Structure 1
Amino acid sequence: MQYITKDLIYQDYIDKTLDTVDVLWVMSSVEEFLSKKLDEKINLTEKIVELINADRPKIKLHRINDDYFFVMPYFTRHHSGYLVEYIYYIYREDGYIVTLYKEKPEFFKGIEHDIKNKKIGKLNVNKLLFYILEECCENYYSLSDWFMSELEKLESKIYDVYSISYLRNLLNFKNMVYRYAHIVNLSKYVVDDLNEIDMLAESKDSLSMVLNEKYRDASERLRFVLESANNVIESYVSIMDLKANEQMRFLTIVATLLMPLTVISGIYGMNFNNMPELRWRYGYFITLAVMAIITIIQIIYFKRKKWL
């Protein structure tokens, strides 16, 4: 087993290695790989080069002559969350795997370490592909854990914040989870296709079953986060409706309390000459007392009805 990093890739090394080892793992950035014309040395077709250079990578398995080509996403930690990146896989049954990327995934370092320290054991090209895809799936687990922790932070504010901006944040979060869940789900289909053509192992091999289960579990985790985000949004909208109803009820009660007082003040605000109450010595105080009694009666009634 040998592997090549982008710092070691050059023509003579490829010439010697392809003839002397059973399993070859080539790791390189896309630019490095194509600029050194290694695509020609490994006899890649124009179709594969075209797929590598595509603006929008398609997460799909392609069979092109003797090669299998597919794209798998992985996610890199960013200060504001996770960004999606892609690894381009070129696989040939005669013993090599090429992995191309814009930025080298962190989990590749762990696989390199295990290979150097012989922790993985004897490898063939199928088992090597299994271990690479398994570590890629662990990256999806980290993504789903981060999404869940962020959702818990948003959910903790659900009763304290009453604003459109908070709802907008929830919707943006849900859209991001949906997009990443869709990407991971497409990866699951690629793994299913790999197992169907026995690239990872025999159809009943425990390794292929483990990998299938892991990708299915990663997809289900993100789907669970998406459903949880939908539930939080629905709960928040319900809380907003309840708060709006509470405010409307409060305004209705205030308007009801003021209505008889407005009628009384309106009557005695009319400028008629023949209004005997205006000449009463205690007319003003009696009117205030009547207004206070009416208000108290209304408040008692509202409390008995549990409207206050």
Structure 2
Amino acid sequence: MGIVLYKDGKIEKNKRYKEIKSGDAVLYLTDVYEDMFTKRSSNINFSRDIEIKDKNKIVINMPYVDELNKKRVEAVLEDGLVSLYFKEKGFIEFIEEKISRNKEIDYKTVFLSLFQFLMLSYDQKLIKLEDDVEIRFEDAVAKDSIQLESLLKDKKKIYMIKRCTNYYKSILVYLEDEFNDIKLYDKLFFSFQDTLNLAENVESSIYSCIDIYNSIYSNRMNKTMELLTFITVMLLPASILSGIFGMNFKFMPLLDHPQGFYITVAVMMSAVAFGIIYFFTNRKRR
């Protein structure tokens, strides 16, 4: 079951492909597989994703990005009708709006409008990502903390959007002979480039956040190493003295002295105290 759109803007819902009778139909949109679809996954491969059976029939199978999931859209262009397997219901409202401005619309324009719709959808995702990254950037500077996992997920989303966008460009270049007479054809390449530029900007912001994360992590490691070094240095005199007096020599200083143990402990504590005072005095100067 799907939605049928006619040139004059009329819409019929809950229709099957076989029930389409009028030659004025330009779009059949469904989210359920029917016989005319290939039912195979997109491979980012022209030899499998684009099939030109003759000048009147083209089958196109391509991916699109929904969050971190790669979904697929399949189009069959035949006899002035675009049969579209696409799960984004907002597309029909998008086409309705175009018809309200242009009065009439043919099946080739409908198909090219699919790419325009995907670019607008990607732009919205990228703008939202940009806002989220900006908030994380401010939090990283103010709170000295950042969520690396969410940044990496956002980076993956951008990579997938860029990959799909470049693939759409390649598809339209490949099908230039079929669509270059449509006004929207050339405009789409500007849309592709705008989306790619926006993706690059957001990706650059993510890299800045990752740099801040690395800086925060390095500072934390430096503080940890500083603490460990301080503890090691403070205990070093005691370790040296205990090591010396742990030697099995018969004659050693203070070995038979009645206050030898206390003198040794006092020397150890004095060395530790001197180290602590020296450390904090120089730290304040810095």
Same fold (TM over 0.5): yes
Return the match for 2:213 from 228, 236, 242: 236
2:20 counterpart residue number: 14
1:160 pairs with 2:139: no
Structure 2: unaligned runs, 5 residues or longer = 1-6
Distance 1:264 1:100, change over 3 A: closer
Return the match for 1:112 from 74, 78, 96: 96
1:208 pairs with 2:185: yes
Give the TM-score, by structure 1 length.
0.68
296-305 or 127-136, larger mean C-alpha shift: 296-305
Return the match for 2:73 from 75, 82, 87: 87
Percent of aligned pairs with the same amino acid: 21
2:4 counterpart residue number: none
2:59 counterpart residue number: 69
Tell me how many residue pairs correspond in the alignment.
269
Distance 1:274 1:119, change over 3 A: closer
1:122 counterpart residue number: 104
Q: Which amino acid aligns with 1:146?
A: K
Distance in 2 (CA, whole Å) between partners of 1:104 and 1:266 is: 75
Q: Indicate the SS of the match to 2:101.
A: coil
Please provide the CA RMSD for this pair.
3.8
2:230 counterpart residue number: 253
CA contact (8 A) 1:91 1:97 kept: yes
Q: CA deviation at 1:25?
A: 1.9
Distance in 2 (CA, whole Å) between partners of 1:176 and 1:82 is: 6
Q: CA deviation at 1:228?
A: 3.8
Q: Indicate the SS of the match to 2:223.
A: helix
Q: Which amino acid aligns with 1:96?
A: L
Distance 1:56 1:5, change over 3 A: farther
CA contact (8 A) 1:59 1:71 kept: no
Distance in 2 (CA, whole Å) between partners of 1:183 and 1:86 is: 11
Structure 1: unaligned runs, 5 residues or longer = 40-48
CA contact (8 A) 2:60 2:74 kept: yes
Distance in 2 (CA, whole Å) between partners of 1:56 and 1:74 is: 10
Q: Which amino acid aligns with 1:85?
A: K
CA contact (8 A) 1:89 1:98 kept: yes
Give the TM-score, by structure 2 length.
0.72
